[in-house]
Amino acid sequence: MNTPHPVVELTVALGDRSYPIVIGPGLLADTARLVRHLPQTRVALITNVTLWPLFGDALASRLEESGITVIPVRLPDGEEFKDWPALNYLFDALLEHSCDRKTTLVALGGGVIGDIAGFAAATYQRGVPYIQIPTTLLAQVDSSVGGKTAINHARGKNMIGAFHQPRLVLADTDVLLSLPKREFAAGVAEIVKYGIGLDAGFFAWLESNLDGLLARETGALTEAIRRSCEIKARIVAADERETAAAGGRVLLNLGHTFGHAIETALGYGAWLHGEAVGCGMMLAARLSRELGMLAEDDARRILALLDRTGLPVTMPDIAVDEMLEHMGRDKKNDAGVMRLILLRGIGQSHVESGVGAERIGAFLAGLPKAAATVG
């Protein structure tokens, strides 16, 4: 007989803006849990055209049965649509239905939907409540938690956005069981990030339990999501707006400076965010080793774990000058100085400002390259 897995609840501690992260199976059907976080009986349910028939229609029906008026907003599917036109389409829908400051935006989807709905919530009528219901592993362990919202610009990922915390994050593990293998692996990248950069004990757990996680065993999946969210919730509570000079929330960006440059250079959607971050973590580990910061054995363990995930671990064939151009626009940079998240050991990431563009360029030029195809 299968033992039922309990629902896990964590808290992002931000004073009067604190909110729960609820993790477990069957949560999409738990309408009462969602309704009690609504300030009034109207919601705009924001999803994409792919997810609407899978989850959106049923959720809307259950909410309406509970006395909630639902305004459906169905956006195009894909990272390339995390842009101004999609945001304006969302605003048009809110205005057409006379949504007010207590209308709650419910983001049902992956990182793209969560980011764009969150940014709309941050800016519509100077701020309205929203709830995150992440449907990808990446969104459940990373982008749905912490209140970072944004849209992309042609010259850089997530360049236009705001901090705006949700009222609730509802992570239903059942929705992950049908996630395509490539999407699932992209989420594993963000889980691995927490172990590589912030928690050596979690890294060791991943070395022992990665096969169960990749097989989507409920116990391993719930534990990996719980531990990832615990780490992120703790860091967000201590450094909500990424203002700590030498650590804090910026350390969550391990692999992202390289990864965002890869995403932008290849064109949004060519690689998934998690795939680019996985490759970015490989680059951060290799550069840390070349600079003498990271021990050879630690570098070997990191690269071995990344390789087991099925993520790309070879640099795509992008011109060095183009990579440096995109890295030069990274939001972590300070007064034109490039700031990387590098490693002194497993679980020991740090901010490094002493590596110049010339040194990074030489490092990138010396790497083996592969065709930029994944999946």
Q: What is the set of active-site residues?
A: 126, 148, 190, 232, 242, 249, 253, 256, 260, 273
Which amino acid type is present at position 182? R
**208 burial via Cβ count (<10 Å: 0-12, 13-18, 19+):** exposed
Q: Where are the alpha helices (DSSP H) in the chain?
A: 31-35, 51, 57-65, 84-96, 111-123, 137-138, 181-198, 200-214, 218-238, 256-266, 273-290, 296-309, 320-327, 357-365
* CA distance linking residue 81 with residue 3, whole number of Å: 41
Tokens 């990030």 found at: 193
For residue 118 the two structure tokens come to: 């969150």
* CA distance linking residue 351 with residue 364, whole number of Å: 19
Secondary structure element (H or E) that encloses residue 69, with its range: strand 69-75
Side-chain-facing half-sphere of 258: CA atoms under 13 Å? 29
Q: Are 166 and 115 in contact (CB under 8 A)?
A: no
51: nearest Cα among 7, 113, 6, 119 = 113
**248 burial via Cβ count (<10 Å: 0-12, 13-18, 19+):** middle
Cα dihedral 100, 101, 103, 108, rounded to 10, equals 120
Q: How far is CA 131 from CA 27, 65, 270, in A?
A: 14, 19, 28
* CA distance linking residue 82 with residue 85, whole number of Å: 8
* CA distance linking residue 46 with residue 287, whole number of Å: 40
Q: Running DSSP on this structure, what letter comes out for residue 15?
A: G
Instruction: Give every CB contact of residue 124 below 8 A, 6+ residues apart in sequence.
Output: 91, 94, 99, 105
Q: Running DSSP on this structure, what letter comes out for residue 145?
A: S
